[in-house]
Amino acid sequence: MTAHLDLQDISVSFNGFKALNGLKMSVRKGELRCLIGPNGAGKTTALDIICGKVKPSAGTVTFAGTALQDLEEYEIARTGVGRKFQVPSVFRELTVNENLEVARARRTSVIGNLRWDVRNSGREHIERLAELVGLTEQLDRPAAYLSHGQTQWLEIGMLVAQDAELILMDEPTAGMTAQETRKTAELFARLKGKHTLIVVEHDMGFVKAIGDIISVMHMGQMLAEGTAAEVEAHPEVRRAYLGSGGISHA
């Protein structure tokens, strides 16, 4: 199957440190790909390259047939790439409903978004989004009063509202309770297929619960790819994690 997202020979350096060194990764449409590796492996930098926050010194990034490496961040976002950072980026003073309205309207002015006629925006669609991310009972609640997990789900809902075809997430379960982590796994299961997901994560229990394919990075390169069982048994992965408690402590 043709790759939906394709990174070929990506390299980038910061002050002489080669964060990515000829990275190659291909992801199919609708796939949920987990990206793991020790600190400094280049996982977050890989997401930065895809969304345009960082520009590669070499290599190409292709998404749905469009070359991304020379586009600005806003242009990449318009192709259908959405990024969720470790710290949630929501409008805390607005309600859950208003946050989803702002995201769905996709206008440049927050005030302009809020003045957009709710009848035109589709209240039913907003309610479906809220149901998808488990926030139906919170629609009229200010985002400032949501739990940590609920805030993460709201931001994911906002990306879905923006019609993000590819969603990039950096440690989405960090700081979550066990129950919130379980609900997040259920949410990702509902999202994949319709959306392509790339998740950087350290919680191997979560990775094993959600991932179709796991990509293991090491020193800015792709070390191994496969199912959880395949990467755990991979000799190069075992050597890379020797003495660190194994891949379960990635």
Q: CATH 3.40.50.300 spans which residues of the chain?
A: 1-80+165-185+196-249
Q: Return per-residue pLDDT of the chain as tens, 250 residues.
A: 578 999 999 999 998 889 999 999 999 999 999 999 988 899 999 999 999 999 999 999 999 999 999 999 999 999 999 998 766 689 999 999 999 999 887 644 454 445 445 445 578 889 999 999 999 999 999 999 999 999 999 999 999 998 899 999 999 998 899 999 999 999 999 999 999 999 999 888 899 999 789 999 999 999 999 998 899 889 888 887 754 555 554 4
Yes or no: domain 1-80+165-185+196-249 corresponds to CATH 3.40.50.300: yes
> What pLDDT, on a 0 to 100 scale, did the predictor assign at position 226?
94
- Contact between 224 and 236 under an 8 Å Cβ cutoff? The reply is yes
Distance CA 106, CA 70 (A): 23
Number of residues in the chain? 250
Cα three-residue angle 150-156-162, rounded to 5 degrees: 140
- pTM comes to 0.87
Residue 242 pLDDT? 53
Q: Are the C-beta atoms of 4 and 166 separated by less than 8 Å?
A: yes
